[in-house]
Amino acid sequence: MFNEGVCALCRGSKYLCGLTYCPIVVKFYSELRLKPVMFKDEVGGSSPPSVFVGRYGYPKVRVGPSIPPVSGDTSDYDLPEVWVGKPLEEILSKRLSMVVGVTEVKVDDLNSKILEKIQEIALSERSVFTELKLSKLISRKPVISEEVPPLGVRVLINDLRPESNVSFGRAVEKVFNDFDMRASEAVIKLYVEGIPISRIQRVLSVGALGKKSKRRLVPTRWSITAVDDITSKHLIKKLLNYEELNEVLVYVREYMKNLFIAILLPGIWSYEWIEAWFPGSTWNVFGRVVSIEGDYEGPSGRSDYALPGGCYYAARLAAAEHLYYRIKRQAMVFLYREIYEGFNIPVGVWFVRENIRKMFEGRPMKFSDVSEAIAEVSKYTAVPIEDVVRRSRILSSYGKVRRLDYYSTFSSFKRG
């Protein structure tokens, strides 16, 4: 029915198979057992805070807050930074319990009264009790995506009432009120201030950053990748001034039928991300062989969108953070992931970012030679290591290509 590898490239968003729907997502819906939704005229609960901005129909999109059926501190409902280590069933239960109340607006219509209330919720530094006045049920199907964490049913709203005295916090309030600062500069400023990545993504998505004339709503899935991209580029630019790593480091993490591996090599910054989806895993449900996809960039970065999508940028941020904040060296970074049968739920790119962050918290294995590191890695991979190396631009060419500074030094030596 499908060409091998198409699902791993599409991930339910590009419809590369030629269909107008994703069979994998439909299969997931059919197997998901949700409690029946009782439609009411009004619902209330404490938004974590959480706001969703859709992408269909752009530049006219659906936007609104997500409300769980509970009051109080619900921050962990929308804080991926604390989800690693929790049962996936618990995360799904909380995410799918939230009602997504949306209204349709143009992405540049930021002066509407209802959107101002939505921005107020999105920028809050704590949970916000909110009442939604409902118009009609849009879909009982949850939001399931490779980029965005799962969300519950969607309803059209007439109005919403967030509690009064919502506080944004000094850092967020400052960039929100600065209409001369570019959005990318504001993202970096918030990141440097220690604001969680997930919160920065939310603030960007509701059009709260950037120069006044250029502020727009940004669909949630776009804002997630944009923030990962902007912040990692910021760190990489600084990394290029660091000395190079002087040893080979290997990190390994196994978690929820996923294997994560990092090999850091001496050299100027370059980066590669490769994923191997096994038959029966999320994006290889209908396959018969392992689907391996990846992409690469050198010191000058890349101008096109990476083939593996948002995971590429989420993983790159985690790697850049580790080199910049902990090792304080630049390196050639090879990141590899295997996804096994049974891991078949799209949960969002947070899963990759937070697991690689967690992997880098562990103690690395140290080697003096890349061949020794590869031999060690072969003990963990289910894909034959020869296939991994052959697919990898970094591993297959490491040590075989002379650097330009080598030839420059050699020429100077001959002239002398």
Contacts of 166 (CB under 8 A, 6+ apart): 120, 121, 123, 124, 128
Check residue 10 and give its pLDDT: 66
* 325: Cα separation from own chain's centroid: 20
How many domains in the chain? 3
In a domain, residue 411? The reply is no
Which range, of 31-45, 59-73, 112-126, 132-146, averages the lowest pLDDT?
Answer: 31-45
Check residue 271 and give its pLDDT: 98
In a domain, residue 341? The reply is yes
Using alpha carbons, list the distances in angstroms from residue 253 to 147, 296, 354. Answer: 21, 22, 12
User: Does residue 189 sit in the same domain as residue 261?
Assistant: no
Structure tokens at 105: 């607006």
In a domain, residue 296? The reply is yes
Using alpha carbons, list the distances in angstroms from residue 56 to 104, 221, 342, 394. Answer: 11, 11, 30, 37
**Torsion angle of the four alpha carbons 386, 387, 389, 392, in this order, in degrees rounded to the nearest 10:** 170
| Coil, strand or helix at 348 | coil
Check residue 252 and give its pLDDT: 98
User: Does residue 261 sit in the same domain as residue 389?
Assistant: yes
Q: pLDDT by residue (tens digit) across 168-215?
A: 999 999 999 999 999 999 999 999 999 999 999 999 999 999 999 999
Q: Could you say which of 130, 162, 194 is where a domain stops? A: 162
User: Does residue 81 sit in the same domain as residue 200?
Assistant: no
User: Does residue 223 sit in the same domain as residue 142?
Assistant: no
189-192: Cβ within 8 A, 24+ apart: 191/227, 191/231, 191/234
H or E element, residue 138 = strand 128-139
In a domain, residue 44? The reply is yes
User: Does residue 261 sit in the same domain as residue 128?
Assistant: no
Mean model confidence pLDDT for the chain: 89
Q: Could you say which of 162, 179, 207 is where a domain stops? A: 162
User: Does residue 148 sit in the same domain as residue 186?
Assistant: no
Mean pLDDT for 276-290 is: 90
User: Does residue 97 sit in the same domain as residue 70?
Assistant: yes
| Coil, strand or helix at 118 | helix
Query: Dmax over Cα atoms in the chain, in whole Å?
Result: 86
In a domain, residue 403? The reply is no
In a domain, residue 9? The reply is no
User: Does residue 222 sit in the same domain as residue 306?
Assistant: no
Q: pLDDT by residue (tens digit) across 93-108?
A: 899 899 999 999 999 9
Structural domain containing residue 153: 37-162
User: Does residue 264 sit in the same domain as residue 361?
Assistant: yes
| Coil, strand or helix at 197 | helix
As to burial, measured by CB atoms within 10 angstroms (0-12 exposed, 13-18 middle, 19+ buried), residue 240 is exposed
Choice between 142 and 14, residue whose per-residue pLDDT is larger: 142
User: Does residue 175 sit in the same domain as residue 156?
Assistant: no
In a domain, residue 402? The reply is no
Q: pLDDT by residue (tens digit) across 316-373?
A: 999 999 999 999 999 999 999 999 998 988 899 999 999 999 999 999 999 999 999 9
Strand partners, 271: 297, 333
Check residue 410 and give its pLDDT: 34
Residue 302 pLDDT greater than 70, yes or no? yes
Check residue 26 and give its pLDDT: 53
Check residue 401 and give its pLDDT: 56
**Residue 11: band (very low, low, confident or very high) from pLDDT cuts 50, 70, 90:** low
Could you tell me if 189 and 175 are in contact, meaning their C-beta atoms sit under 8 angstroms apart?
A: yes
Q: Could you say which of 140, 162, 184 is where a domain stops? A: 162
Mean pLDDT for 69-97 is: 94
Residue 38 pLDDT greater than 60, yes or no? no
User: Does residue 260 sit in the same domain as residue 373?
Assistant: yes
In the chain, pLDDT over 70 holds for what percent of residues?
A: 87
The backbone torsions φ and ψ at residue 249, rounded to the nearest 5 degrees and listed phi first, read -120, 140
We report the CATH number of the domain holding residue 120 as 2.40.50
**Torsion angle of the four alpha carbons 325, 326, 331, 337, in this order, in degrees rounded to the nearest 10:** -100
Where helices occur in 73-182 by DSSP H, the ranges are 88-96, 113-123, 170-176
Using alpha carbons, list the distances in angstroms from residue 298 to 185, 331, 346. Answer: 23, 11, 29
In a domain, residue 29? The reply is no
Structure tokens at 97: 């319990």
Measured CA angle at 355 (ends 354, 356), to 5 deg = 90
User: Does residue 196 sit in the same domain as residue 142?
Assistant: no
